[in-house]
């Protein structure tokens, strides 16, 4: 093995993917056959999900900007929903129009981008919905390959997290990374109070003082020691208590809250991390002010999108089980009723009286990006605005 072969990670580069090197081999063979036979047909292909994982009834579309970056400069017309749009099963989220040989090598990559990102944005949005206004941070970078951390954290943030703990991803989002302290600091310092005091002395004043409780001793006594030592400077306590030791976690938190309040520490907030998911958020909400969610978001199940041809040379055609013809998705801004219409039909009015709004917009025309790409903060706001219309 040459030296250079043992450097870097087992990941593909943007150039390799954009060059069509990363594809299922049958698309390469299709390309080869169509080229050899001189068949070059103009097609429209659509992306949709037949159903969702985990009994989800809606999803949040992620990965659109990456798809736009992938196809920028290609002789194609790409239409679709804005990134962050909430959608249901069997609704078209993206379409690609062009000569089939110009994009057949990219199905693998396009679906990969949309499927994983949409799973993460949806899981984050579900946690946001469960947590209400409570603080929600993404702590799951450590569970996934580091090269995709910025993609994961971007989708966690867009889906509704208030912040992310991993530094490079936070910088790429234009956000301050958010976190507390690790068990390692407390172990190395030898004591929770000592570690929290050192944190208070060394770390910039604008970073909230949140002490990690559960390294050495009982949560109640450790919480009181830290509160008494830091007084008003203490913003909150984080409980990362492993599930094997939790027993009735809600009772532990109840006891801590009681003892803190009794001594006047009513302002000290309680944060929970470690194996948090949407169910535990719903259970712990009465006592918890904020959550650090890891695996549930970073390792979210993917949305199983497929890409299907729906039109060839202007004629509607599709495989069995799939409606043919190019379509658009519309939504009533008043009652959030969705309808799928043939693209050429006017969208008309909703039965409620509202006027349907066309959600299928042009993203790329002839290689040019024709859609002003929103910032992650704008996308997050868009998701949060829609979430009030949905139930978990
Ligand atoms: Zn309506």
Per the DSSP assignment, residues forming a β-bridge with 117 are none
At residue 5, the pLDDT reads: 66
C-beta neighbour count of 194 within 10 angstroms:
13
Span 124-158, pLDDT tens digits: 999 999 999 999 999 999 999 999 999 999 999 99
Report residue 351 as tokens: 């039965």
Maximum distance among all Cα pairs of the chain, rounded to whole angstroms? 82
Place of tokens 């594809």: 23
Ligand 1 center to 329 CA (angstroms) = 14
Residue 293 to residue 136: CA distance in whole angstroms: 7
Burial of 145 (0-12, 13-18, 19+ CB in 10 A): exposed
Ligand 1 center to 349 CA (angstroms) = 8
Ligand 1 center to 52 CA (angstroms) = 24
Contact 192, 202 (CB under 8 A): no
Ligand 1 center to 258 CA (angstroms) = 47
Span 188-239, pLDDT tens digits: 999 999 999 999 999 999 999 999 998 988 899 999 999 999 999 999 999 9
Specify the CATH architecture of the domain 11-120+301-387.
Answer: Alpha-Beta Barrel (3.20)
Place of tokens 């936070």: 170
Q: Which CATH number fits domain 134-298: 3.40.640.10, 3.90.79.10, 3.40.50.2300, 3.20.20.70?
A: 3.20.20.70
Report residue 359 as tokens: 């959600």
- CATH 3.20.20.70 occupies which residues in the chain? 134-298
Residue 38 region, left (φ>0) first, then alpha (ψ -120 to 50), else beta? left
Average pLDDT over residues 17-46: 97
Phi, psi of 66 (to 5 degrees): -70, -40
Span 95-108, pLDDT tens digits: 999 999 999 999 99
At residue 242, the pLDDT reads: 73
- CA-CA distances (angstroms) from residue 314 to 39, 99, 267, 306, 364? 16, 12, 65, 21, 19
Ligand 1 center to 133 CA (angstroms) = 27
Ligand 1 center to 358 CA (angstroms) = 13
At residue 1, the pLDDT reads: 47
pLDDT confidence of 356, banded at 50, 70, 90? very high
Does the pLDDT of residue 3 top 60, yes or no?
no
Ligand 1 center to 332 CA (angstroms) = 5
Ligand 1 center to 335 CA (angstroms) = 4
Instruction: Give percent of the chain above pLDDT 90.
Output: 94
Residue 231 region, left (φ>0) first, then alpha (ψ -120 to 50), else beta? left
Span 311-334, pLDDT tens digits: 999 999 999 989 999 999 999 999
- CATH 3.20.140.10 occupies which residues in the chain? 11-120+301-387
Span 264-286, pLDDT tens digits: 999 999 999 999 999 999 999 99
């Amino acid at each position: 093995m040459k030296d250079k072969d043992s450097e870097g990670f087992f990941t593909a580069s943007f150039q390799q993917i954009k060059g069509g090197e990363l594809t299922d081999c049958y698309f390469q063979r299709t390309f080869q056959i169509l080229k050899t036979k001189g068949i070059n047909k103009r097609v429209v292909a659509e992306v949709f999900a037949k159903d969702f994982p985990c009994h989800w009834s809606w999803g949040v579309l992620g990965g659109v900007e990456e798809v736009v970056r992938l196809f920028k400069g290609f002789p194609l017309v790409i239409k679709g929903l804005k990134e962050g749009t909430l959608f249901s099963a069997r609704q078209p989220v993206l379409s690609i129009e062009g000569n089939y040989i110009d994009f057949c090598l990219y199905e693998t990559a396009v679906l990969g981008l949309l499927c994983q990102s949409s799973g993460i944005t949806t899981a984050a949005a579900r946690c946001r919905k469960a947590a209400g206004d409570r603080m929600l941070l993404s702590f799951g970078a450590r569970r996934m390959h580091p090269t995709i951390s910025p993609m994961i954290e971007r989708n966690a943030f867009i889906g509704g997290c208030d912040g992310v703990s991993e530094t490079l991803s936070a910088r790429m989002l234009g956000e301050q990374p958010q976190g507390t302290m690790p068990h390692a600091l407390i172990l190395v310092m030898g004591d929770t109070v000592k570690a929290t005091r050192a944190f208070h002395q060394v770390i910039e004043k604008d970073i909230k003082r949140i002490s990690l409780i559960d390294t050495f001793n009982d949560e109640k006594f450790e919480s009181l020691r830290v509160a008494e030592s830091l007084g008003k400077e203490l913003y909150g306590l984080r409980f990362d208590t492993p599930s094997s030791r939790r027993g009735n976690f809600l009772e532990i938190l109840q006891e801590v809250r009681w003892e803190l309040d009794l001594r006047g520490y009513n302002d000290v907030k309680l944060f929970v991390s470690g194996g948090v998911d949407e169910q535990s958020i719903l259970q712990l909400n009465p006592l918890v002010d904020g959550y650090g969610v890891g695996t549930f978001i970073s390792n979210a199940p993917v949305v199983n999108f497929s890409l299907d041809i729906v039109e060839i040379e202007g004629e509607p055609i599709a495989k069995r089980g799939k409606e043919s013809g190019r379509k658009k998705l519309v939504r009533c801004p008043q009652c959030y009723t969705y309808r799928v219409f043939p693209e050429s039909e006017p969208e008309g009015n909703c039965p409620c009286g509202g006027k349907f709004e066309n959600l299928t917009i042009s993203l790329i025309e002839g290689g040019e990006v024709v859609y002003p790409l929103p910032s992650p903060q704008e996308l997050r706001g868009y998701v949060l605005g829609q979430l009030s219309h949905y139930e978990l």
